[in-house]
Amino acid sequence: MLTLDLTNAPRWHDLVPGVRVQLRPLTTALMVATRSDPAVEAVPDDASDEERAVAFAKALARRAVLAWEGIGNAEGESIDPSPDAIDALLDIWPIFEAFQLTYVSKGLLLEQEKNVSTLSPNGPSAGASDTARVANPARPVRKPAQTARRG
C-alpha cells in the first residue's frame, strides 16, 4: 500500500555522525525543477553517468536543503547553507553517498515498487515449492545418490 504524507513538511536527515540537514520533501515539482536546472542541462552529452549523478545531486540539494547542523568553515564557525557551501558539502564522498541513500533513493523507491508484482495465489508464480520431497523424513537415507554420468 502506498502511504501518502499529506503534511509535506520538511524533515531532518542524519548524513554522518554530527551532520544533519533539513530537506524539503522530494516532490515531483522538485524533481522536474532539478532536471531543468542550468547546471544539469550544461552537463555535456558525452559525460559519464557519474558526472551526471553528481551534477543532479548538487542541483537537487541546492533546492532541497533548508537548514543544517554540524557544518562550519575553516575557522570552526557554523555557516548557513548557500549554493557554494552545498556543492562543497556534496564533494565529500560519505556525505554524497548518504544524501543519495537517505533522500534521493527513498524518493525513487516508489519507481521500483511499481515494477513489482505480488505472487499469484496459484499457477507458476504461486511461490517456490520443494523440488525433492522426502517420502519418510523419520527414516534416514541409506547411502548418498550416485553422481550423474557424463557424456
Strands 11-16 and 19-23: antiparallel
Look up residue 29 and give its amino acid.
A
Whether 54 contacts 34, CB under 8 Å: no
Boundaries of domain holding 90: 11-113
Q: What are phi and psi of 66, to 5 degrees?
A: -105, -35
Residue 29 lies in a domain: yes
DSSP letter at 114 equals T
Residue 67 lies in a domain: yes
| Cell numbers found for residue 70 | 554540524
Whether the full predicted model's pTM is greater than 0.75, yes or no, is no
Look at residue 136 in the predicted model and tell me its pLDDT.
54
Count how many domains the chain has: 1
Greater confidence (7 vs 74) lies with: 74
Residue 141 included in any domain: no
Residue 59 binned pLDDT confidence (cut-offs 50, 70, 90): very high
Q: Higher-confidence residue: 47 or 124?
A: 47
Task: Name the nearest CA neighbour of 97 among 47, 55, 54.
Answer: 54
3-state secondary structure 90-101: HCCHHHHHHHHH
Summarised one tens digit per residue, pLDDT across range 2-56 is 666 677 889 999 999 999 999 999 988 999 999 999 999 999 999 999 999 999 9
